[in-house]
Amino acid sequence: MTAFPTTRMRRMRANDWSRRLMRENMLTPNDLIWTVVVSDRTNGAEPVPSMPGVERLGVKAAANAAKRARALGIPAVAIFPNIDDSLKDAGGREADNPDGLVANVIKAMKDAAPEIGIICDVALDPFTDHGHDGLLEGGVILNDATVERLCSQALMQANAGCDVIAPSDMMDGRIGVLRAALDSQGFTDTLILSYAVKYASVFYGPYRNAIGSAAVLRGDKKTYQMDPANTDEALREAALDIDEGADMIMVKPGLPYLDVVARLKTEFGMPTYAFQVSGEYAMIEAAAANGWIDGERAMMESLLAFKRAGADGVLTYFAVRAAERLNA
């Protein structure tokens, strides 16, 4: 490279048009997956106190959200349920209820906007009275028994019209078992988005409040979610899920783990996604509310960071606001 003063890097930064010409990464509405909390407590919407601007949506409001996503060019919506406490038990029996909240939301959203992809979380934590993602016995999460319950949950979702099964539980072997179960019931075209790399993170706190699991969670999830110190382990986890039949892989949380996103994309070349989780969202909103940062710019900069790291898309609570800004 020719040295200064012949080379002046600022020349290409001097004007908007030249900055645009050399821009390496772009963010569009096609890169956004809208994460939506749905609730059986309302037909309308109720605010989530720990996540300003985010609401729990009833079935009717969720259907309208699908229409809004379509209008903004957002390709898919990921739904996460908040159910009445009276429906929770140790086995998470409500998770595979074909007449329950999740099934009703899927059907309503598909009726309202069939072009929108519907992604369903596969895990038991919104449905258990202990707040864990799996079945609990003597303080231990039962891996194989949990996977069996997850298959029943996933099949219910697929029957209701879900396009993408997204297991977030981190049980060993669940991708292969889920793929076999879906295929055996004729759902060969149903996609699997694996939470291949999900860390035992502090950044999930506001989400647990949103779905109602924070108050009941016993202990922590460190025996099944990953140690934040590890990245080689992330490659092993992702490789196993890919071998078992995952169509897409995900890293969760997002911004604290951009290095992991980059490693996975480079290593596997798979459709790779990042989840900008509730804590990331809440931090930006809180700082903006206090006047410490420009919230809109922080939102867009954070989303662009995922693209720069190699992510093909981002699950985010900012999807609607970002899409509106990108479409302006």
- List, by residue number, the catalytic residues: 198, 252
- Residues β-bridged to residue 36: 79
First to last CA, the chain: 39
Buried b (16+ CB within 10 A) or exposed e, 253-290: bbbbbbebbbbbbeebebbbbbbbbbbbbbbbbeebee
With beta carbons less than 8 A apart as the criterion, state whether 105 and 60 touch. Answer: no
DSSP string, 91-157: T-GGGG-TTSHHHHHHHHHHHH-TTSEEEEEE-STTTBSS--SSEEETTEEEHHHHHHHHHHHHHHH
SS3 21: helix
Beta pairing class for 140-142 and 135-137: antiparallel
Look-up of token digits 């099944």:
224
Look-up of token digits 């993408």:
164
